Amino acid sequence: MIVVASRNGNVGIRQAMAVLKAGGSALDAIEEGIHHVESNPADHSVGYSGLPNLLGEVELDASIMDGRRLASGAVGSVRGYEHPISIARKVMEELPHCFLVGTGAERFAAEMEFPKKDLLTPEARRIWLDTLNRNALGGVYRERTDYLDKIREWVKKSADPEKYTGTTNFIAMDARGDIACGVSTSGWAWKYPGRLGDSPVIGAGNYADNRYGAAACTGRGEMAVNAGTARSVILYMKMGMSLEEAGLEAMKDLWAVQDPYAGSMNIVALDRFGEPAAFSNQKTALYVYMTEDMDEPVEKARTYVPMTRQEWEKERSERAEGSERTAG
């Protein structure tokens, strides 16, 4: 049994493992683990206290996938509910659909009797407002045309959700060997209202298939959407690659995405044998995992894959020169 998570999952990984040890399913474990991140007021990228969109509304996205039967549930742009991961799970279990957004998702959450909650904390509101004011946009953001004029500059200045510890990923394998994967986020801070990233998009930010493994992403969601990143990891394993090779290949695919806002991209993954791995285009990024025989989770470095082919080649030639000098 194992639980793998993005680093901010450290607040919930022990509880997720406890669910597995008590005989719970991989789905139960990731839902439990993600709840703790969604409720963490110090994490401004997920759930309660997530940073809001440009209009000051906290909009949450989440998805869950059951690797036993390739079933999924997802919600996008949900306001007023602390645990979008549980709404996503209900979508998977109760509806003939797999993806609800906006008012439809909120209506469904109310029907399922999830409690309503004001998610905008004073701290998140202060960060939101300070940043708007610092960039002299406080007065203009409600004008759509002004917003569109400024978005290029604005997004570069302000909006990397990784700065606020950025989205959560949980993958679990239970005692039966079943795999599930979940992702939850408040998305790109100061985003255009209604914007969805990779987190609720199955294949982009989340994928699980018992036959091969699972993968999930954090970072600049638009890149993972355009490259189909999570599904790519699984497909590369299907084609015969090891998990390490598959993750590397999926990261390299991102080099072809011509994105003027390109930023951090990170993958956590698990293969069908229960081996974890993680990848990032940021040098110091970590992930966390816990197996059933560990008392505490471990944080480990992700495999670093630079953001561009040029940087990758430069790194490799510097490394080769370094080892030549050592050998000489």
* Residues at the site binding ligand GLY, with contacts judged by CB under 6 A: 161, 167, 185, 187-188, 197-199, 205, 218-221
Kindly state the smallest distance separating residue 177's Cβ from ligand GLY, in Å: 28
Report which residue type is found at 219. G
Kindly state the smallest distance separating residue 114's Cβ from ligand GLY, in Å: 21
Q: In what order do the strands lie in the sheet with 206-209?
A: 206-209, 213-219, 265-271, 276-280, 303-304
Kindly state the smallest distance separating residue 301's Cβ from ligand GLY, in Å: 20
Residue with the CB atom nearest ligand GLY in the bound state: 221
Q: Is 168 a catalytic residue?
A: no
Catalytic residue selected from 131, 165, 167, 218: 167
At residue 128, the 3 state secondary structure works out as helix
Nearer to ligand GLY, 218 or 232 (CB): 218
- 64: Cβ contacts below 8 Å, ≥ 6 apart: 27, 30, 31, 72, 73, 74, 85, 88, 89, 92, 180, 181, 182, 183, 206
Query: What is the DSSP code string of 141-163?
Result: TT-HHHHHHHHHHHHHHH--GGG
Nearer to ligand GLY, 80 or 197 (CB): 197
Kindly state the smallest distance separating residue 49's Cβ from ligand GLY, in Å: 16
Contact 280, 264 (CB under 8 A): yes
At residue 240, the 3 state secondary structure works out as coil
What are the tokens at 103? Answer: 């008012």
Kindly state the smallest distance separating residue 205's Cβ from ligand GLY, in Å: 6
Distance CA 85, CA 198 (A): 14
Kindly state the smallest distance separating residue 219's Cβ from ligand GLY, in Å: 6
Nearer to ligand GLY, 25 or 185 (CB): 185
Nearer to ligand GLY, 186 or 210 (CB): 186
Report which residue type is found at 115. P
Nearer to ligand GLY, 131 or 168 (CB): 168
Nearer to ligand GLY, 205 or 247 (CB): 205
Strands 206-209 and 213-219: antiparallel
Alpha helices for the chain (secondary structure H) = 13-21, 26-38, 84-94, 102-111, 122-134, 144-158, 221-227, 229-238, 243-253, 309-327
Distance CA 199, CA 64 (A): 9
**Residues carrying an active site annotation:** 167
